[in-house]
Amino acid sequence: MKKMWLSFAIVMMLIIPTGAFAVHENANVKQRDTEAIGHVLAGHMFKHGELDEQKWMKIVRQYTPDQADEWQKVLDERKTLRKQMQDEQVKKALKAKCKEMKKKREAALDQLIDRFANKEITKEQFKQELNQLHKRKKWMSKEEKQKLRKLHYQTYEAMKENDKNAMAMLLPQWLEHMKKENERLAKWIQAATQR
């Protein structure tokens, strides 16, 4: 079970930019045009790799062509990080880092419980410190998740309506999000492999 959650956590880190991108399709058209963007599932970028990167680039060239080079750099970096994650030594290092982090959290929780049991802290202090421990194990904060959900929804709506102005404003936000996630993942890999 623990291995499953570890795998799930790693996969979730890789597919952080999740959500559905779609363009408005005419209800009368039964056959999809292969040139149209169709349904682009941004969150499954790591599931299909280069195919989704091509879809991203197609969207970028359509709505913000001046940023295509920067997008390509970010997607290339993402591809490199994906390859690093497949390396056996990196996998072992990440697994060891996760075990270490779990042990630290468990020790901190045990210490917190002991302090509460010995009446060194109040119930409110216990709850606050427990909440802090819980927050430290998350990849994204609640605020970041809400911001990402809002970005997904806005992008979905803009593509559904084929709103070029909205897409021109939203794609740079996606680019910044992907840059941050690449940085976060790179730091995590580096921290795990530097022992």
Higher pLDDT, 184 or 5: 184
pLDDT in tens, 90-129: 888 888 888 888 888 888 888 888 888 888 888 888 888 8
* Same structural domain, 181 and 192: yes
The Cα–Cα gap between 186 and 120 comes to 40
* Same structural domain, 164 and 124: no
Q: Quote the pTM value.
A: 0.61
* Same structural domain, 150 and 132: no
Of 1-15, 62-76, 80-94, 135-149, which gets the smallest average pLDDT?
1-15
Q: What is the DSSP letter of 23?
A: -
Domains held by the chain: number: 2
The yes-or-no verdict on residue 20 having pLDDT over 50 is no
Task: Decide if 24 is inside a domain.
Answer: no
**Measured between alpha carbons, how far is residue 126 from residues 32, 81, 105, 186 in Å?**
57, 39, 15, 34
The yes-or-no verdict on residue 70 having pLDDT over 90 is yes
